[in-house]
Structure 1
Amino acid sequence: MTEGFSDFFYTAPDGLKLHARVYGETNSGHWPAVCLPGLTRNCRDFHELALHLSGRAARKVIAFDYRGRGQSAYDPDISHYNVAIEAGDILAGLAALEIEEAAFIGTSRGGLIVHVLGAIKPSVLKAIVLNDIGPVVEADGLAHIRSYLDPSPKPKTRAEAIGAQRGAHGSDFPALSAADWERMVSALYRETEAGLMPDFDPRLIETLAGLDLTQPLPDLWPQFEALAAIPLLAIRGANSKLLSVETVEQMRKRHPDIETITVEGQGHAPFLETGGLPGAIATFLDRAELKFS
């Protein structure tokens, strides 16, 4: 194990080689925590949070790279870049790790995958943290994501990469420090012979191209309501364009055991290693465990 984690490779149901990081090797008796990143993001987004969770309570943490992201293989068929197949990939990874139930922490797309898991295998979900995602995805927020991914910036240096990310996101994230932006770039890009490259299959952007964002997007209220018996923490960036205040209010009304946090000075999606969030998430998981142990 290096830097607090080990690399775990496994095979998807269709044979693709996929990757996850595993923090905390021992079975401590606590629920494992499964971390699911956003659309183009990868397991590195959760590094600081995973170190906190695995160190505080010796909780095993598994942070996944979806197909086409990070150290997972790219899929030759881009139609496979969808939440249903990715949910199946996560279940395959958990089966390979012999994990039958866990707490799930889903950022953006990761939270959509949690909704799918609740529909296809609810027994795997013991507690849920949704990071700036809910049953309603605002079209304006998705349009913003599409705008800064197409074309995705191709900086030559780390300084250029930080400048590009500040340019795209700075107005929504005034609370971030220079170190926060550095960590973001380290998570998002990989070093290649050609310089820094975004660490995802560039064809992922094509999966957004066909969406008609002038129309309301389908909601997931039935799937969300099916999670009503599971402890849930909803985190929203105060400047988020993807998760509205109104949706969070509806989530409160429809889920009897929900807690909410608003992260000031951040947009979509809040950095989970900032703003006291590691401690808040750890406390939420501990409290949920005590309640259902």
Structure 2
Amino acid sequence: MQNHRDYWYTSSDGLRLYARQYGPSDAERTIICIPGLTRNSADFAPLCEHLAGDFRIFAVDLRGRGNSDYDSKPENYHPGTYALDIIALLDQLDLNTAILIGTSLGGLVSIVLAATAADRVTAAVINDIGPEANQTGLERIKAYVCNAKPVESWPEAIAKTKLSLSQEYPEFSYDDWLQFSKNLYRENSQGKPILAYDPEIAVLLQTPSTPEASDLWPLFNHISDLPLLLLRGELSDILSRECVTKMQQQMPTMQFIEIPNCGHAPLLSEASALAAIDHFLSDPRLARPQKLS
């Protein structure tokens, strides 16, 4: 059963971008969900359905993913560009501000937006990412994103997904792996599963970066007044406990929860994650008007 509506919008450079829309169109508050590097709007379905009674929600496919246009310039696959795309969505919706929920790369985009366009962000939920990332986890992600090989069948797609991510989700059942794989792949006209993202998103991962470029602490320090909830997978190899401690020191008001027996990144459908998000969204500070005047 499809519980969402299709929503299309246009980026500042003319790409046709896609989002799933949940909840009532006249809801007073709007949430924008931003997925991880290789992921798309489908990942947020359980969370969106959970929240749809009280919020209007847009779960986006970033450019180069899902139903959104692929970019002919791979150098545009960058958090700064994605942040501009979210602003384009806000402008098309005639919204001054929204609550952001970002997983991994989506969390980085949320930090960029909160630091560079603070008036457009009411609050943020950051899922398993911080201003710095463990090199071990980055190398793991780079290994499977930069060396993606085609598969011939759904059983092969499921097996490959499980091989890459079994340590991140040790409690997954076969049905869990099936659903996760169906969110990562889509069928082509021959019924064969193909990755639901542009392989060129790997270009940025293959480009050497300076320490200054990979250090997001200056941006994080600019959002000290933002209502923020941070989630971490207990087994995460991307967001370390040391990084969390430093974030808490920089932002004492930040709420934090660790999701047990889960790596990078929590699905946000876990009972503890849903309870933490519900509690965070009940903050009276998140009730300020969002419409452009």
Q: TM-score, normalised by structure 2?
A: 0.92
How far, CA to CA, are the matches of 1:291 and 1:15 in structure 2? 33
Matches within 5 A, 1:227-242: 227-242=223-238
Contact kept in structure 2, 1:233 and 1:258, CA below 8 Å: yes
Matches within 5 A, 1:143-158: 143-158=139-154
Pair 1:6 & 2:5 matched: yes
User: How far apart are 1:207 and its partner, in Å?
Assistant: 1.9
Q: Secondary structure at the match of 2:27?
A: coil
Instruction: Report what 1:92 is aligned to.
Output: 88
Instruction: Report what 1:40 is aligned to.
Output: 38
- List alignment gaps of at least 5 residues for structure 2: none
Matches within 5 A, 1:189-228: 189-194=185-190, 195-211=192-208, 218-228=214-224
Contact kept in structure 2, 1:127 and 1:288, CA below 8 Å: no
Aligned partner (choices 85, 90, 99) of residue 103 of structure 1: 99
How far, CA to CA, are the matches of 1:126 and 1:162 in structure 2? 38
User: Which moved further from structure 2: 63-72 or 271-280?
Assistant: 271-280
Aligned partner (choices 109, 128, 134) of residue 124 of structure 2: 128
How far, CA to CA, are the matches of 1:183 and 1:266 in structure 2? 17
Structure 1 residues 245 and 122: alpha-carbon distance in aligned structure 2, compared to 1, 3 A threshold: same
Contact kept in structure 2, 1:53 and 1:278, CA below 8 Å: no
How far, CA to CA, are the matches of 1:123 and 1:53 in structure 2? 24
- List alignment gaps of at least 5 residues for structure 1: none
Q: Secondary structure at the match of 1:197?
A: strand
Q: Secondary structure at the match of 1:249?
A: helix
Instruction: Report the residue type matching 1:38 in the other structure.
Output: G
User: How far apart are 1:282 and its partner, in Å?
Assistant: 2.1
Instruction: Report the residue type matching 1:206 in the other structure.
Output: V
Instruction: Report what 1:256 is aligned to.
Output: 252
The CA deviation string for residues 193-226 of structure 1, in whole angstroms up to 9 with x for no partner, is 351011000111122112369x797321121121
Q: Secondary structure at the match of 2:282?
A: helix
User: Which moved further from structure 2: 4-13 or 267-276?
Assistant: 267-276
How far, CA to CA, are the matches of 2:132 and 2:228 in structure 1? 16
Instruction: Report what 1:138 is aligned to.
Output: 134
Instruction: Report what 1:172 is aligned to.
Output: 168
Instruction: Report the residue type matching 2:4 in the other structure.
Output: F
How far, CA to CA, are the matches of 2:114 and 2:286 in structure 1? 22
Structure 1 residues 285 and 204: alpha-carbon distance in aligned structure 2, compared to 1, 3 A threshold: same
Q: CA RMSD in A?
A: 2.0
Q: Secondary structure at the match of 2:255?
A: strand
Structure 1 residues 154 and 259: alpha-carbon distance in aligned structure 2, compared to 1, 3 A threshold: same
Contact kept in structure 1, 2:31 and 2:100, CA below 8 Å: yes
User: How far apart are 1:99 and its partner, in Å?
Assistant: 1.9
How far, CA to CA, are the matches of 1:216 and 1:169 in structure 2? 30
Aligned partner (choices 71, 79, 82) of residue 75 of structure 1: 71
How far, CA to CA, are the matches of 1:216 and 1:99 in structure 2? 33
Contact kept in structure 1, 2:123 and 2:286, CA below 8 Å: no
Instruction: Report the residue type matching 2:14 in the other structure.
Output: G
Pair 1:15 & 2:11 matched: no
User: How far apart are 1:167 and its partner, in Å?
Assistant: 0.9
Contact kept in structure 1, 2:30 and 2:98, CA below 8 Å: yes
- Tell me the percent identity: 36
User: How far apart are 1:289 and its partner, in Å?
Assistant: 4.3
How far, CA to CA, are the matches of 1:151 and 1:111 in structure 2? 24
The CA deviation string for residues 159-185 of structure 1, in whole angstroms up to 9 with x for no partner, is 222211111111232132333222211
How far, CA to CA, are the matches of 1:164 and 1:288 in structure 2? 44
Instruction: Report the residue type matching 1:189 in the other structure.
Output: Y
Contact kept in structure 2, 1:234 and 1:258, CA below 8 Å: yes
User: How far apart are 1:111 and its partner, in Å?
Assistant: 0.9
Instruction: Report the residue type matching 2:44 in the other structure.
Output: F
